[in-house]
Chain A
Amino acid sequence: EAEVAQSPRYKITEKSQAVAFWCDPISGHATLYWYRQILGQGPELLVQFQDESVVDDSQLPKDRFSAERLKGVDSTLKIQPAELGDSAMYLCASSRDPHNEQFFGPGTRLTVL
């Protein structure tokens, strides 16, 4: 069964450092999402891509976060500089198109010291 791949699974960094997370969606899925899940809360959408285009980044803190999906396949989410409040699980999800089920990856757990 195809799955969404994410790496790394865990990342520990110091504040003010740069971090990057990678996501490989299920083959053929045109829509890709990045979510942030703070411990004890539900996921919150950061950015949504349709192919290589951003369709919603209204909740992305653009002063420090950036996301790209240059070839419309895999995607990278970057934080620079990381802050203590960025500690969370970062989840990637993909769907065949925006009208279909979202499949989630295992997430990257970020700890900022």
Chain B
Amino acid sequence: GENVEQHPSTLSVQEGDSAVIKCTYSDSASNYFPWYKQELGKGPQLIIDIRSNVGEKKDQRIAVTLNKTAKHFSLHITETQPEDSAVYFCAASVLGNEKLTFGTGTRLTIIP
């Protein structure tokens, strides 16, 4: 089955700087890659996703890049703000078989 690895497990960045979180996947059939943000005491919330027919996707301060050949994808957050502090999870699945396999999470802390 699919295996998703996520790095780093913790990340601290100065407010206003950029943060990058990286994930790799094992199943070459995976073609859907969402990113979730989980705040304390809440369920994960989808923040951005990318499908394998696209190499990059942006939504304001958040972007995701995908390298299908290397089987890795990354989340980029620019101009970080204190409210960006949370745990971020990447995931992978095959569209049509919607079982999401999650990474182990990255605890992002924004230092004011």
Interface on A for B, CB 8 Å cutoff? 4, 31, 40-45, 48, 56, 91, 93, 95, 98-99, 101-107
Residues of A within 8 A of B99 (CB): 45, 48, 56
* Interface size grouping (class) on chain B: 20 to 34
Bound: A46/B2 CA distance, A: 15
In the bound complex, do residue A93 and residue B43 qualify as a contact, i.e. CB atoms below 8 Å apart? Answer: yes
With A41-B104, A42-B105 already in contact, the answer to whether A99 and B43 are too (CB < 8 A) is no
Bound: A104/B39 CA distance, A: 12
Mark B80-93 against chain A: 1 for CB-CB distance below 8 A, else 0.
00000000010100
Residues of B within 8 A of A103 (CB): 46
Q: Closest Cβ of chain B: how far from A72's Cβ, in Å?
A: 17
A-B interface, 3 closest residue pairs, ranked by CB to CB distance from nearest: A42-B102, A104-B43, A98-B98
B45 on interface, CB distance cutoff 8 Å: yes
B95 on interface, CB distance cutoff 8 Å: yes
For B105, give the chain A residue with the smallest CB separation.
Answer: A42
B44 on interface, CB distance cutoff 8 Å: yes
Interface residues of B in 61-112 (CB under 8 A from A): 89, 91, 95-96, 98-100, 102-105
With A42-B89, A42-B91, A42-B104 already in contact, the answer to whether A104 and B44 are too (CB < 8 A) is yes
In the bound complex, do residue A40 and residue B95 qualify as a contact, i.e. CB atoms below 8 Å apart? Answer: no
